[in-house]
Structure 1
Amino acid sequence: MNSMYFTEEHELFRQSLREFLKKEVTPHIDKWEKTGTIERFIWKKFGEMGYFGIAYPEKYGGMDLDLFYTVILLEELQRINSGGFAAAIWAHIYLAMTHVNKEGDHRIKEEYLRPSISGDKIGCLGITEPFGGSDVAGMRTTAVKEGDHYIVNGSKTFITNGVYSDYLVIAAKTAPELGNKGISIFIIDRETEGISSTKLEKLGWRASDTGEIAFDNVKVPADNLMGEENKGFSYIMQHFALERLIMGVNAHARAEFALEYAIKYMSEREAFGKTIDKFQALRHTVADIASEIEMCKEFNYSITKRLDQGQYVVKEASMSKLLSTKIADEAIYKCLQLLGGYGYMEEYPLARMFRDSRLGPIGGGTSEILREIISKMVIDKKEYKPAT
C-alpha cells in the first residue's frame, strides 16, 4: 500500500471490489467478449454495491468519496482483462454521469443520476462525430429551438454504450455561427423518436457496445438542456481532464497486470534447464517495463491528488494520457513477447490485452491531438481555464 495516497479504508475497498469482480464478473467475461453484449444484471449488482456512486453526492444515492476510490475502481477493472467491460462501466460513471451531475438540474439528477447510481439506467456520452474526430469545435450536429423543444439533427460515432444505454448525453450546436462558443449539452431518452444506432465491429474492446448514433428530427424538451445554452464547449473541456486521467490510470493498471502475468509465466516456463526468469536479457526487459510503469503510476497518483483538491490539471492529465498509453502499449507488446508463442494464443490473456490496449492512444483524444494541446501550453503559453 502506498500510504502517501491510499489509506487502510482504501485498501479494504480494493479487496472487497477485487473479490466482487472475481465472483460476479470474471465468470461471464469470455461470453460478453464473444457476444459484444454485457448483460443487464451486472449493472444492477454494481449499483447495489454502490460502485456507481462512489464519486457522487449522497443526496442522490452516492457516497461522495475521494478520487482515490475511483483510481482503485479503474485499476481493479483492468485486472479482469476486458477493456470493453471496463470501458462500458467507466464511460457510464465518469463520462455520462459526470455531465449529469455537474450540469444537470435537480429534476434531471432525480430522473437520471439517481437511477444511474442504482444501476437502473445506463448512460452514454456523445461528442465525437463521423467527420470531426477530436475536433469538438467542428461538430455538425445541431439543436434548433422551436417553442418549448429543440429539434436535433446529426450523428455521433465511436460512442461507448452507444447501442444499449437508456439515455444519451449529447453535444449539439445551438448557435452554429458562433463556432465552439455555440455548443450546448442535452440529455435525451433512448426511446425518443428519431434516434437510431448501429453497432460497430472493433479490433478490441469487444465486450462493449460501441455505436454510431443518428438523430433525425429528434424532439428534445427544452428542460433537457443541461447547464447554460452555448456553454457546452467549456463544460466538455473542463471534464476532459478527468477523462484523460482515467485513460492514464487504465493504461498503467493494464500494463502492471500484464507484467505480473508475464513474470509468473517466466517463473514457471523452463528452457535450457532453467526457468526463463533467470535469463539476463529477459530480466532486464522486465526491469525496464517495471520502471516505466512505476513512473506512470506515481505521476497519475499525483495528478489524482491535485484534481481531488480542485486544481485544474488539464496539462498534466493530457501528459498522463499521452505517455501512459504509449508506455502501456509498449509494455504489453514486450510482455506478449516474453510468453513467446503462447503470447499469440487466444487462450492466454496477452492477445486480448494487446488488442484492447491499442485503443489507449486513440480514444479520448488521439496522441497527435494531445501533443498539439500540450505544445500550445508549453511553447505558446496558452492557458486553459475552468468553465465559470
Structure 2
Amino acid sequence: MSKVPFSDPAWLMGLPSPYYNESHRRWQATIRPWLEENLHKNAFEWDTAELLPESVFKTFAEAGMLIPSLPCPLPVEWLKRVGINDIMGVKVQDFDYMHMAIYSDEMSRSGLAGPPGSLTTGMSFGVPPLIKFGNKQLQERFLPDALTGKVRFCIAITEPEAGSDVANIVTTAKKSADGKKYIVNGSKKWITNGIWSEYASMAVRTGGPGASGLSMLVVPLKGHKGVTMRRLKVGGQISAGTTFIELDDVEVPVENLIGEEGMGMRYVMTNFNHERLSIAIGATRQARTALSAAMAYVMKREAFGKTLIEQPVVRHRLAKAGALLESQQAWVESFVYDMVKLTKAEADVKIGGLTALAKANAGMVVNECAQCAVLLFGGAGYTKTGQGEVAERIYREVMGIRIPGGAEDVMLDLAIRQLVKNYQNETKKMERPQGSSKL
C-alpha cells in the first residue's frame, strides 16, 4: 500500500539512509503498533478530557516504555539492577540515540504533544540529574522506584519571574539551625507533570545572586507539608499536566542535595541538549502529521470542478511547507547521529548551540506546516471536530513548542553566541604565544 506523501520520513518511505541499521528498523517496526494500541488510538479522546487514565502510565512503566525517553547511553547498571534488561527486544546496553529518536518520533505520531508528554517528561528531564550527579545514597533511595515508574519525578526550574533566565531564579533553600534540613520557599510555574509527581529535581538558590548561587534538590511534592499544586490551563498540550507549585517552608533533608551546592546551573545546563533535541524530534513529527493530513485531504476534496491538488496555488503551498519539513528532518537526523558518535562533553561544546537552533527551527517549521494544513482544510481546519481536527489541534500546540525548553528568540541568540564562542576559542588555540618567534 502506497503512503501519503510526507506521512513518514524518507527512511520509512523506502529510501536508503546511512543512519539506521537493522536494530533501528526492527525497533521502529516493533514499537509503532504497540504505541498505536496503547497511546495513539485514544490520544485525541484523552487530550480532550485533559487527562490520561492512570492505567496508561502503569502500562508504559511495566513495559519499560518510559525508559527510552532518557538520555543515551542509558544507565545500564541501574536498569539491570531493577530488572530491565531490554526494551521491546533491544538490550539496554545496545540502545543508542537513534533508538531514542525513533521512539520520540513515534510517540508524536498522533500529532499531539500532550499525551506523550504526560508520560515521559518527568522521566526524560527529572530523573537524569540523579543519574548523572546524585551520590550513592541518593541514587539508592530514589532510582529503583523512579526507573520502574513506581514514583514520578518532574523537573522544576522555571519560575513566574525566571523562565529562560535560569540564573536569576529566586526560590530559596536555607539550612535549618541544626543543619539537618533545607527550608524551601518560593514558587515554580509551567512545570510539566508536576501535579502527578511525588518528587521534583528542583533548582533552588542556596547561595548569593547569579548562577553560582544555584543548587539542585530532590524536593517532595504530592502530599508534602508546605507544598501546594494546581494545574494551569495552557493553550495546548493540556493533558501533559502543566502545574503551578507553591513552596511554603518546605522541609527537605540535606541528604536530598543533588551533587554539590553551587553547581546547580551546571546540572541544569547539562540536560538541555537532550531536552531540546527531544522537542525538535517530536515537533518535526507533529509538522509531518499536519502536512500529510492536509496532503490526503486536498487529493480527495473537490472545489470548482476539480480536486484541490489540481490547483497550482495549493501545490505551491504544500511544496514550500514540505521543503521546510524535509530539511528539518534531515538536520535533526544528523544531530542524532552526532549524539551517537560524540562523547557527551564533545556534544555539549560542538553542537550545543546548533541544537538550540534546531529546536527553534522546529518550532518555526511546525508553525508553517500546521498553518498550511489549517488553510488547506479551510473551515474544517478551524473546527475542533471532524476531518480537520488534527490540523486545528496541532496549530493550537505550536506555541507550546516555540516557548518551552528555551524560548525561540533566546535559542536563536544562544546559538549564535555559542558558535562565536567556539570560533574564538579555536582561533585562540592557533595564535602564536606572545613574545615567541616560533611558528
| Secondary structure in structure 1 of the residue aligned to 2:236 | coil
1:42 aligns to 2:56 (yes or no): yes
Residue identity (%): 28
**Matched AA of 1:17:** I
1:303 aligns to 2:321 (yes or no): no
Give me the TM-score of the superposition, normalised by structure 1.
0.93
**Matched AA of 1:334:** C
Alpha-carbon offset, residue 139 of structure 1: 0.4
Alpha-carbon offset, residue 136 of structure 1: 0.5
1:259–1:332: 8 Å Cα contact kept in structure 2? Answer: yes
- Which runs of 5 or more structure 2 residues have no equivalent in the other structure? 1-10, 85-91, 426-439
Alpha-carbon offset, residue 233 of structure 1: 0.2
| Secondary structure in structure 2 of the residue aligned to 1:120 | coil
Match of 2:378 among 340, 353, 372: 340
CA distance in 1, matches of 2:233, 2:423: 38
Q: Who is 1:250 aligned against?
A: 282
Q: Who is 1:15 aligned against?
A: 29
1:142-181 deviation per Cα after TM superposition (whole angstroms, max 9, x unaligned): 111221211111110000011111211100011024x211
CA distance in 2, matches of 1:84, 1:160: 10
Q: Which runs of 4+ in 1 moved over 6 A?
A: none
2:111–2:290: 8 Å Cα contact kept in structure 1? Answer: no
1:74 aligns to 2:92 (yes or no): no
Q: Who is 1:360 aligned against?
A: 401
Q: Who is 2:435 aligned against?
A: none
Map 1:284-303 to 2 at 5 A: 284-303=316-335
Distance change (3 Å), C-alpha of 1:296 and 1:238: same
CA distance in 2, matches of 1:383, 1:241: 22
CA distance in 1, matches of 2:259, 2:18: 36
Q: Who is 2:214 aligned against?
A: 183
Map 1:241-280 to 2 at 5 A: 241-280=273-312
1:96–1:169: 8 Å Cα contact kept in structure 2? Answer: yes
Q: Who is 2:78 aligned against?
A: 60
Map 1:144-163 to 2 at 5 A: 144-146=174-176, 147-163=179-195
CA distance in 1, matches of 2:240, 2:338: 31
Alpha-carbon offset, residue 381 of structure 1: 5.6
CA distance in 1, matches of 2:145, 2:398: 31
- Measured on the aligned residues, the alpha-carbon RMSD in Å equals 1.9
Distance change (3 Å), C-alpha of 1:383 and 1:319: farther
**Number of matched pairs:** 383
2:111–2:285: 8 Å Cα contact kept in structure 1? Answer: no
Q: Who is 2:169 aligned against?
A: 139
Q: Who is 2:356 aligned against?
A: 318
Map 1:65-214 to 2 at 5 A: 65-146=95-176, 147-177=179-209, 179-190=210-221, 191-214=223-246
Alpha-carbon offset, residue 86 of structure 1: 2.1
- Which runs of 5 or more structure 1 residues have no equivalent in the other structure? none
1:170–1:186: 8 Å Cα contact kept in structure 2? Answer: yes
Alpha-carbon offset, residue 48 of structure 1: 2.0
1:130–1:157: 8 Å Cα contact kept in structure 2? Answer: yes
2:110–2:289: 8 Å Cα contact kept in structure 1? Answer: no
Alpha-carbon offset, residue 379 of structure 1: 4.7
| Secondary structure in structure 2 of the residue aligned to 1:359 | helix
1:4 aligns to 2:18 (yes or no): yes
Alpha-carbon offset, residue 382 of structure 1: 8.2
CA distance in 2, matches of 1:334, 1:187: 43
2:160–2:187: 8 Å Cα contact kept in structure 1? Answer: yes
Alpha-carbon offset, residue 307 of structure 1: 2.2
